[in-house]
Amino acid sequence: MSRLSTALSNDYKALCLLRDELALHTSLLKAELKDRWNKLEADFATLREHIGRAEVAAEDSRKEVEAAASKLLNALRTSYTDMRNALKS
């Protein structure tokens, strides 16, 4: 496993924990946050798909798939963190 793959795997696990924390609060979310949550869930499904592809991709396309997954992972982390902060306020 490459360093990027290992980092991506670790980041994904941390993102899953943050997502699980937010999922517990979904019943308490305001309407505007629910719409945002639904969009993030669609993006999270895409991330899972990218990670799955990276695991089976040929080496030449693996870097592209890992880069796309990494970009999406960072965007999701930022959005989940923003949602968690909104819930705290």
DSSP, collapsed to helix, strand or coil, labels residue 3 as helix
pLDDT at position 24: 81
Query: First-to-last CA distance in the chain?
Result: 40
Instruction: Give the phi and the psi of residue 15 in degrees, each rounded to 5.
Output: -65, -40
pLDDT at position 1: 62
| Among 58, 52, 42, CA closest to 12 | 52
Structural domains in the chain (count): 1
Q: What is the mean pLDDT of residues 49-67?
A: 77
What range does the domain containing 15 cover? 3-88
